[in-house]
Structure 1
Amino acid sequence: MIRLSWLHIRSVVLGGGLLALASLTASSALAQSYPNKPVKVVVAFTAGGTTDILARMVAQQLTDKLKQPFVIDNKPGAGGNLGTELVVRSPADGYTLLVNSVGPIAVNPTLYGKLPYNPLTDLVPVVQIADVPNVLVVHPSVPAQNMDELVAYAKANPGKLNYGSTGIGTSSHLSSFMLGKRVGFDATHIPYKGADALKDLLAGRIQFMFATIPSVMQHITAGKLRPMAVSSLKRSRALPDVPTVVEKGFPNFEAGSWFGFFAPKGTPEAVITAVNKAVNEMLTLPAIEQQMVAQGADPAGGTPAQFGQFTQREHDKWRVIVRESGARAE
């Protein structure tokens, strides 16, 4: 039987307490000092896209608030996988962060089969920036003024409609796949690389597509595209007069995009807390809120835990849809 003296027990307890206090003190000091040098914010897509626009908007506010530059670094490629892996492999010190979207986090793990990393476990969710619904838009040559008329026309003309997307397995592609499956109409999918899909839609070479609201807002306003419905559960604040697909009789149809901050696994909790707090405070500013809504984005926010639970649900949802569609990355 091992007997421990009171002095030994006391030394162990005190030692543990001192270690905990030291850890708490170090965490507090880090929170107060972070950041003390420029922070690189990787965007896994090209400049000018929705991810890039939102990232730059937030980065500027963080620069002003935290008194250190938050510098955008665009690293596009492989559907967002290249930039995402770059951050996964980066030092977990809080000075390399990632602004990412639904594709690389929730869709690509299924679409690409076997990635050399797991975005759900190799990255730490920090804070959701915004929800950006997809909007179903048609070229004015399509004889449909609303969703009901579009469905009726598509059913009466099987195989005659072409829809575009920004690539196989993207939210744009899978939204249309979901709609066709739920409605029961036959249309031909034509995948593009990024913005080329919108160019052909505006030219009338394809008839409809789901697109992020920021990418088509100006064309809707100009009457060059006709909005049919949005893919969020609630109406978009940017297009309040456009109904949701759910309202048109298709329950649980939710297939929009979302955007948020992530950090490499192992990033100190104090850094996660500091960035989360700063972004949440920024999202409550009326000017930022108005700017986001004007861009077609609905500000989100919330805790890291909430964002982590959300990304897991999104991964589980898109895994089923990708498998049903048969989509595989080329």
Structure 2
Amino acid sequence: MKRDKPSSLFLQKLMGTATAVLLAAGLGAAPRAEAQSAYPNKPVRVVVAFTAGGTTDILARAVTQQMSEKLGQPFVIDNKPGGGGNIGTEFVVRAPADGYTLIVNSVGPMAVNQTLYKNMTYDPLADLVPVVQIADVPNVLVVNPEVPAKTMEEFIAYAKANPNKLNYGSTGIGTSSHLSSYMLSKRIGAETLHVPYKGANALTDLLAGRIQFMFATIPSVISHIRAGKLRAIAVSSLKRSRSLPEVPTVAEKGFPGFSAGSWFGFFAPKGTPAPVIALLNKSVNDALPSLEAQMIREGADPVGGTPEQFGKFTRQEYDKWKVIVRESGATAE
């Protein structure tokens, strides 16, 4: 006995109902997926692993203000100082990789501290991903005006003629300011004494004449240079700084390859989605042109570029500083 075939009208109704259900489900899911993937749809925390008012903090605030305006969400600075930048850096390493916790970091925590600190529980090069470099910030060799040296040649001659009489300050053992002076003293063959400080106290003593010289980030001393309270001798970058174009580099004064500056950029926790990294990279690159004049005036050279370029640069910096830290014998508790 043959079974009756469903009528064509019934089939049409059945197929029409199923299609409608599928379409409704699809149309309902699309807005939800789009809403979930839209980034950013809430405030973004940007950690700075140093105190407010320092070079990292100043650059981070300038750039994130532009990002907030462009992306329509607050980018909120969260200062987490301590441990030479390790406390704030580890906080971001352990944060969810969703793009809502980022860090503006610098040469110390990213390229120096792995060699300087013996018991680190994370690897910043592996546990963070590069987003974009904000700026290069050369160190500048500055002396108290009481030091009778106005040029690099005069400084070298004076340092050699007065062994162990020149004290240099730094913002701490293993920092860029410490290692820059160590490198220079070794290259010129002068015996100098390192006096480590915590943060800005080194600059206070340099201005007072209690120490004679130091390598400092240009933004931290440019106003004192312009006021005549400090004398700029040379910068530590391979090329002259656009902020102090009249000041020669150490390299061009007979020490080729001398490069010991600071740099700053955005990083995110490993696993942050690639589209989020791409959006953040673009927003910073878009912001830099409007900040260029201000940054140069204050002592920073804007960079920008791709995540891949920044990642390659960061790895090269780690390889360079690893050798210097080991040669210096510097360690941190």
Instruction: Provide TM-score, normalisation by structure 1.
Output: 0.90
2:330 — aligned with what?
327
CA distance in 1, matches of 2:36, 2:141: 44
Q: For the structure 1 residues 117 and 30, does the alpha-carbon distance in structure 2 shift closer, same or farther, using more than 3 Å as the test?
A: farther
Which of 237, 240, 247 is the matching residue for 1:235? 240
Where does 1:264-283 land on structure 2 (aligned, <5 Å)? 264-283=269-288
Q: Partners of 2:120 and 2:35 in 1: how far apart?
A: 33
Q: List runs of 5+ in structure 2 lacking aligned partners.
A: 1-29
**Equivalent-residue separation in structure 2 for 1:30 and 1:214 (angstroms):** 41
> Is the partner of 1:247 in helix, strand or coil?
helix
C-alpha distance in structure 2 between counterparts of 1:316 and 1:80, whole Å: 19
- Is residue 2:157 matched to residue 1:136? no
Q: Deviations over 1:189-220 (max 9, x none)?
A: 00000000000000000000000000001100
Query: In structure 2, what is the equivalent of residue 53 of structure 1?
Result: 58
1:315 aligns with 2:323: no
Residue 306, structure 1, aligned to residue 309, structure 2:
yes
Looking at structure 2, the residues matched to 179 and 114 of structure 1 have their Cα atoms a distance apart, in angstroms, of 29
Unaligned runs of 5+ in 1: 1-24
Which residue is equivalent to 2:119?
A: 114
Q: Which residue type is aligned with residue 183 of structure 1? A: I
Relative distance call for 1:37 and 1:179 in structure 2 (3 A) is same
> Could you say which residue in structure 2 is the equivalent of 1:157?
162
Whichever of the two has the greater Rg, that structure is 2
Runs of 4+ in 1 over 2 A off after TM superposition: 28-32
1:275-320 alpha-carbon deviations (Å, 9 max, x no partner): 00010111122xx100100110000001000000000000000000
1:216 to 212, 221, 231: 221
- Report the counterpart of residue 10 of structure 1 in structure 2: none
Matches within 5 A, 1:1-330: 29=34, 33-285=38-290, 288-330=291-333
The 2-side partners of 1:166 and 1:328 are apart by: 14
Deviations 1:23-65 (A, max 9, x none): xx99x95897210000000000000000000000011000000
Tell me how many residue pairs correspond in the alignment: 303
Question: Taking structure 1 as reference, are residues 317 and 29 closer, same or farther at Cα in structure 2, changes over 3 Å only?
Answer: farther
1:79 is displaced (CA, Å) by 0.2
Q: Is the 8 A contact 1:31 1:274 kept in 2?
A: no
Q: Write out per-residue CA displacement over residues 150-196 of structure 1, whole angstroms, 9 at most, x where no aligned residue.
A: 00000011111100000000000000000011110000000000000
Structure 1 residues 30 and 161, CA, compared in 2 at 3 Å: closer, same or farther? farther
Given that residues 31 and 271 in structure 1 are in contact (C-alpha distance below 8 angstroms), is that contact kept between their aligned partners in structure 2? no
Q: Distance in 1 between matches of 2:197 and 2:133?
A: 28
The whole-number CA distance in structure 1 between the counterparts of 2:164 and 2:80 is 38
- The percent of aligned pairs where both chains have the same amino acid is 74
How far residue 325 of structure 1 moved from its aligned partner, in angstroms, is 0.1
Over the aligned positions, Cα root-mean-square deviation in angstroms equals 1.4
Q: Residue in 1 aligned with 2:14?
A: none
